[in-house]
Amino acid sequence: MSTFYARFLTRRAYARSVLCIGLDPDPALQPPEFRTPVSMVDYLLRIAQATAPYAAAFKPNVAFFEAQGPEGWDSFARLIDGIRRFAPDVPIVADAKRGDLANTARFYAKTFFETYPCDGLTVNPYMGMDSLEPYLEHKDRGVFVLCLTSNPGAADFQLRGDPPLFEAVASAMEKQNQKSGNVWMVGGATRSTEQLERIKTLAPSVPLLVPGIGAQGGDLASVLSVTGPNALVNASRSILYADPEGDFVAGAENAARVLTEQMRAQLVDL
């Protein structure tokens, strides 16, 4: 199987987009008829199918499925399977932010790379490099390491120290990527351009997954000015709930198209 990065490049070239569509179904935001574990996935699949032409990747957040118990996990499986049917070349990144001792992390890797066969997984670096090994061993999968997140609380620990923690993570991930070639990093769009530039300087080989545009308020143009095309830029709620009371499929398709057109306008080689 080719690497995640190779699949990303192929998909990016075909879709002419670096848009990652976050599939984070919050029952409180869903139309009333799409709030059960089963109907929730019907909603997501309709949106995924309509937005697939603009998707460089899909990123379901596992928390929303997990909270619904075993039925939620059945739904997660059905979502992956459904996307594979109509968009087999769009990589799926499970946003689960797992992190545990290597002995245990092997089981999380099994969960998201075998039980639910995703192409990539977000992970948390707090426990150190040995805790990431079980994911990194899967050379064909993308390992998306949290570096600098989009929430205000990121300042509490990630910005602490001189150089700050997120820079140490970035440096460690550059080193790791030189060895394994399957590392990505998460850097929030709500951070300053300088901070994202710092990450790119310290880890030039590591592509970025950038959440935080749309509902969280990050600016797409600023993000792209730093990352260039070697990135996935994520939007979730602003696509999923572009028009939840009206024609949610058309609303999502339109939101994804607008973002993609902005990307194409700014990234001339896309």
Which of 97, 139, 175, 179 is an active site residue?
97
Alpha carbon distances (Å) from 232 to 1, 32, 52, 224: 21, 31, 14, 10
Does 67 participate in binding its own copies (rule CB under 8 A)?
A: yes
Residue whose structure tokens are 């205000």: 152
Q: Which two tokens stand for residue 229?
A: 């095309």
- Rounded to 5°, angle at Cα 115 from 111 and 117: 95
Contacts of residue 22, Cβ cutoff 8 Å, sequence gap at least 6: 59, 60, 61, 95, 211, 234, 235, 236, 237, 239, 240
Q: Which two tokens stand for residue 79?
A: 């979502």
CB of 26 vs its own copies, minimal distance in Å: 8
**Contact with its own copies (CB under 8 A) among 6, 13, 38, 155:** 155
**Segment lying near its own copies (by CB under 8 A), choices 79-87, 95-103, 196-204, 245-253:** 95-103
Residue positions counted in the chain: 270
By beta-carbon proximity to its own copies, the closer residue of 95 and 253 is: 95
Residue 68 contacts residue 39 (beta carbons within 8 Å)? no
Question: Is 97 noted as a catalytic residue in this protein?
Answer: yes
**Contact with its own copies (CB under 8 A) among 172, 213, 232, 259:** 172
Amino acid letter for position 259: L
Q: Which two tokens stand for residue 43?
A: 């909603």
**Contact with its own copies (CB under 8 A) among 30, 149, 177, 234:** 149
Q: Which two tokens stand for residue 166?
A: 């997120």
Does 81 participate in binding its own copies (rule CB under 8 A)?
A: no
Number of residues that bind its own copies (CB under 8 A): 54
CB of 2 vs its own copies, minimal distance in Å: 25
CB of 226 vs its own copies, minimal distance in Å: 21
**Segment lying near its own copies (by CB under 8 A), choices 43-51, 97-105, 241-249, 261-269:** 97-105
Residue whose structure tokens are 């976050």: 22
Binding residues vs its own copies (CB under 8 A): 24, 26, 61, 63-64, 66-71, 73-74, 77, 97-105, 107-108, 110-111, 115-116, 124-131, 146, 149-158, 160-161, 165, 168-169, 172
Query: Catalytic residue positions?
Result: 97
